Chains A and B, each alone.
Chain A
Amino acid sequence: SQKIEQNSEALNIQEGKTATLTCNYTNYSPAYLQWYRQDPGRGPVFLLLIRENEKEKRKERLKVTFDTTLKQSLFHITASQPADSATYLCALDRGGNNRKLIWGLGTSLAVNP
């Protein structure tokens, strides 16, 4: 079955630096991959979606890459700010017409002022 691995340890970086989070999967290549942000006590909020035929997607300070050879997606936040501190989740589709997503456990990011 499909498994997803995200950095298990919290990531601490200095304000202004680029944060890079990793999402690795082990089995079939998904048709698309999504990144969500989750703040304490709240539900996940969608950030970006990247499809299997796309190498890179950008949105403001966010950038996602998708390497189907490495079975990996990288999520970058440039010019990070303390407000970017949160847990970031990646989710993969299961393919076909099933709308079920497989979720990683998330990586906690702390941006220090």
Chain B
Amino acid sequence: DAGVIQSPRHEVTEMGQEVTLRCKPISGHDYLFWYRQTMMRGLELLIYFNNNVPIDDSGMPEDRFSAKMPNASFSTLKIQPSEPRDSAVYFCASSLPEYQETQYFGPGTRLLVL
């Protein structure tokens, strides 16, 4: 399997612009997670899905962030409007349905908002 695929790998945008990050989980994985990583706060879970349904979005910072999973092989994380403090590395991860199952991470999207 190709692993978790994320695009773009790097994104530079100006404050106020809309940013869309994309993720393709590993085939057969029922869970999909969106994380944000910064030096100060480490890895923070933003939202996770089970069978395309959002289960826990308590980590989504504010209404500027939204995530969708229209089917089992695709998810998006959208920031609108973007702000400089959104600059971070955003990871997508997926896992199998069994409890305690480990998470498989994508390579991440490095976002810089100017």
Q: Which of A's residues lie within 8 Å of B, judged by CB?
A: 31-32, 34, 41-46, 49, 51, 89, 91, 93, 97-101, 103-106
> Which DSSP category, helix, strand, loop or mixed, fits chain B's interface?
strand
Partner of B100, one of A42, A43, A44, A49: A49
Size category of the binding interface on chain B: 20 to 34
Q: Are B91 and A43 in contact (CB under 8 A)?
A: yes
Of residues 67 to 114 in B, which have CB atoms within 8 Å of A's CB atoms? 91, 93, 95, 99-100, 102-108
| Nearest Cβ on chain B to A3's Cβ, whole angstroms | 12
> With A99-B95, A100-B56 as given contacts, are A42 and B102 in contact (CB-CB < 8 Å)?
no
Q: Which of B's residues lie within 8 Å of A, judged by CB?
A: 4, 31, 33, 42-45, 48, 50, 55-56, 59, 91, 93, 95, 99-100, 102-108
Q: Which residue of B lies closest to A46 (CB)?
A: B102
Which of chain A's residues have a CB closer than 8 A to the CB of B56?
98-100
Q: Are B106 and A43 in contact (CB under 8 A)?
A: yes
> With A98-B56, A104-B42, A105-B42 as given contacts, are A46 and B104 in contact (CB-CB < 8 Å)?
yes
Q: Are A49 and B43 in contact (CB under 8 A)?
A: no
Which of chain A's residues have a CB closer than 8 A to the CB of B55?
98-99
9 more contacts with CB within 8 A, not counting A99-B48, A103-B43, A106-B42, are: A31-B100, A43-B4, A43-B91, A43-B107, A46-B102, A46-B103, A46-B104, A49-B102, A99-B56
Partner of A34, one of B4, B91, B102: B102
Sample of 5 A–B contacts (CB below 8 Å): A34-B102, A43-B106, A99-B48, A99-B55, A99-B56
In the bound assembly, the distance between CA atoms of A42 and B59 in angstroms comes to 22
In the bound assembly, the distance between CA atoms of A45 and B45 in angstroms comes to 16
